[in-house]
Chain A
């Protein structure tokens, strides 16, 4: 145990939760440094919610240990509860009550006296842009408003650790950006945030470390950069002037890059994932050569971009399944760069683009 290490906010070792036959969480080890955003990334059914619920003392682990600032969750649940706050996957606010009532109620339960709880609620609603809806029942709120109220409720009094279980699932890009801003502001105040997400983009943007989980196990852990490096892929996207030239461009690219090239839905767009092993001279240099070849063949390119390897690609490589369908039967460790995975790669990229709410 890292008891002496005060910089660790959450530490789990061999955490297990079994539902009947199903090992929902199957030996999870996590070390979350204090004062950072830690991303837990995984597809549907990976065990994210179950893990968070154990850490928030809502479920009893069936095996292993979990400590929050040194307090074991099943032995000292009250000490853990005093330090954490939870925004669950499904709105943890009361639909029947108004925004103000929700926050005042919670303020009272946290120990504020009535006037202080009212002030605090008003302050929060203002800061979260909900003043106009303060007196409406939460069931009339949009998804984004509900989320913000939910997060406001979680930070009514600043927790040491905040659990956000898929805080942006189902939000539009603008609301998602707002949530991201909120998370950044919270962490800047010194709160440790453990955030689960299915959006790779989100983990990449917010988290300083990421654990990728699948079928109840951590299959990769590290900084976003490390994860990308371990997969070692970049993506070339290009858009031609003339759709007629696509077939030829495809041939040229496959020859130069030595990897399969995919046709996008857009009839002028092509993309290819470049693997480190084949990228002799580096991905950038190879891409430059490809562009030169295309120009030499009279193919006009309107738009060209060289993407950093995305976390989607990392996920695909790690699990063998695209991140957004969670089939869960992938072979861990398989690097999928062959043409047979076109479909999967497309879907993975689709997720990424949904996630990119800029």
Chain B
């Protein structure tokens, strides 16, 4: 765009006339307030619009997971399972879980940078269901997680991953993962509202996410670990989730693991959603 065009646009700003204004103002009676669902979906739509305008933010849900799959398959595959293709059958669902759970972390950063902006004041002064804005972030993020899952599965299939559970098993696994991520993300909304800077949100999130994902059965069978570590790993929510997803995709029905995963999801939501809302209202 040339300078001349820019100037042109500035000059063309139409004048505001009193008649125009009173006409639009007169027709602006307040409608009924929207339902909780409608308000949440609207915020979800806002998140999608942001992805549309800033598509670079999809980088972390595409490039990062691809890197993870390639790195772990070829780095550990030979050593741990004797062959990369065999290891992939075990590893891929775990990498899927790990990647998606890791990228949930960006929710906190998004919340933290958003609340700094003036638009958040307007949002908070609206007469709507209070959690809607936060739920909206999480709904928008579900889209990102879906994209990430699709990318990982596609790369896996190319590398030789063959899920015995077929389409149903795979979709079931992804659905469980999304539900868990939604509930788990309330930790991040809380941290996003609680901590002062984007950097500190990132730092604290790393401290939570790395131990949680690595101290699990994603990479190796816990049998090989010392007892005290096994105690932790066997009870980690990520272990339950990874086992459930792995078995669902393998065509089995791991009722107990699914129940554990959903139980943990519920616990995260029950604890961290109210804490988030408390901070949101107190801001």
A residues near B, CB below 8 A? 53, 56-58, 60, 78, 81-82, 84-97, 101, 105-106, 108-112, 116, 120, 123-124, 126-133, 137, 142, 144-145, 148, 153-159, 178, 181-182, 184-186, 188-189
Contact: A105 with B125, CB < 8 Å?
no
Q: From B116, which residue of chain A is reached at the shortest CB distance?
A: A90
Known contacts A92-B118, A92-B119, A93-B119; is A84 also within 8 Å of B16 by CB?
no
Contact: A93 with B42, CB < 8 Å?
no
B25 proximal to A (CB < 8 A): yes
What chain A residues lie within 8 Å of B12 (beta carbons)? 132
**B1-35: which have CB < 8 Å to A?**
9-10, 12-18, 20-34
Chain B nearest CB, measured from A100 CB (Å): 11
Known contacts A96-B53, A158-B25, A185-B21; is A129 also within 8 Å of B42 by CB?
no
> What are 10 pairs between A and B in contact, CB < 8 Å?
A60-B282, A81-B126, A84-B125, A92-B119, A92-B122, A97-B46, A111-B31, A111-B32, A111-B33, A189-B25
What chain A residues lie within 8 Å of B28 (beta carbons)? 120, 155-158
Contact: A133 with B9, CB < 8 Å?
yes
Contact: A91 with B39, CB < 8 Å?
no
Contact: B27 with A108, CB < 8 Å?
no
Q: CA of A186 to CA of B117 in the docked complex: distance in angstroms?
A: 26
Which 5 A-B residue pairs are closest in the complex by CB-CB distance?
A129-B14, A185-B21, A111-B31, A92-B122, A81-B127
B50 proximal to A (CB < 8 A): yes
What chain A residues lie within 8 Å of B20 (beta carbons)? 126-127
B158 proximal to A (CB < 8 A): no
Question: A57, A108, A130 — which one has the most chain B CB atoms within 10 A of its CB?
Answer: A108
Chain A nearest CB, measured from B272 CB (Å): 22
Contact: A56 with B125, CB < 8 Å?
yes
Known contacts A85-B125, A129-B13; is A58 also within 8 Å of B283 by CB?
yes
Q: From B124, which residue of chain A is reached at the shortest CB distance?
A: A58
Contact: A97 with B42, CB < 8 Å?
no
8 Å CB contact of B118 from A91, A128, A132: A91
8 Å CB contact of B50 from A97, A106, A129: A97
Q: CA of A109 to CA of B127 in the docked complex: distance in angstroms?
A: 9
B121 proximal to A (CB < 8 A): yes
Contact: A94 with B46, CB < 8 Å?
yes
8 Å CB contact of B125 from A86, A123, A126, A133: A86
> Apart from A93-B118, A96-B53, what 5 extra A-B contacts exist at CB < 8 Å?
A58-B121, A106-B122, A111-B31, A158-B28, A189-B26
B128 proximal to A (CB < 8 A): yes
Q: Per-position contact with A for B88-128: 1 when CB-CB < 8 Å, else 0?
A: 00000000000000000000000000000111011111111
Chain A nearest CB, measured from B233 CB (Å): 41
**B26-58: which have CB < 8 Å to A?**
26-34, 38-39, 42, 45-46, 49-50, 53-54
8 Å CB contact of B30 from A124, A137, A157, A189: A157
Contact: B125 with A97, CB < 8 Å?
no
Q: CA of A189 to CA of B54 in the docked complex: distance in angstroms?
A: 39
Q: From B30, which residue of chain A is reached at the shortest CB distance?
A: A157
What chain B residues lie within 8 Å of A156 (beta carbons)? 28
Contact: A108 with B42, CB < 8 Å?
yes
Q: CA of A111 to CA of B27 in the docked complex: distance in angstroms?
A: 15
Chain A nearest CB, measured from B78 CB (Å): 45
What chain B residues lie within 8 Å of A189 (beta carbons)? 22, 25-26
Q: CA of A91 to CA of B53 in the docked complex: distance in angstroms?
A: 19
What chain A residues lie within 8 Å of B49 (beta carbons)? 96-97, 101, 105
What chain B residues lie within 8 Å of A137 (beta carbons)? 53
Q: CA of A127 to CA of B28 in the docked complex: distance in angstroms?
A: 13
Q: CA of A350 to CA of B13 in the docked complex: distance in angstroms?
A: 28
What chain B residues lie within 8 Å of A84 (beta carbons)? 125
Contact: B117 with A157, CB < 8 Å?
no
Contact: A123 with B24, CB < 8 Å?
yes
Contact: A157 with B31, CB < 8 Å?
yes
What chain B residues lie within 8 Å of A126 (beta carbons)? 20, 24
Contact: B25 with A185, CB < 8 Å?
yes
Chain B nearest CB, measured from A166 CB (Å): 12
Q: CA of A120 to CA of B46 in the docked complex: distance in angstroms?
A: 18
Contact: A155 with B14, CB < 8 Å?
no
Chain B nearest CB, measured from A212 CB (Å): 25
8 Å CB contact of A186 from B10, B13, B15, B25: B25
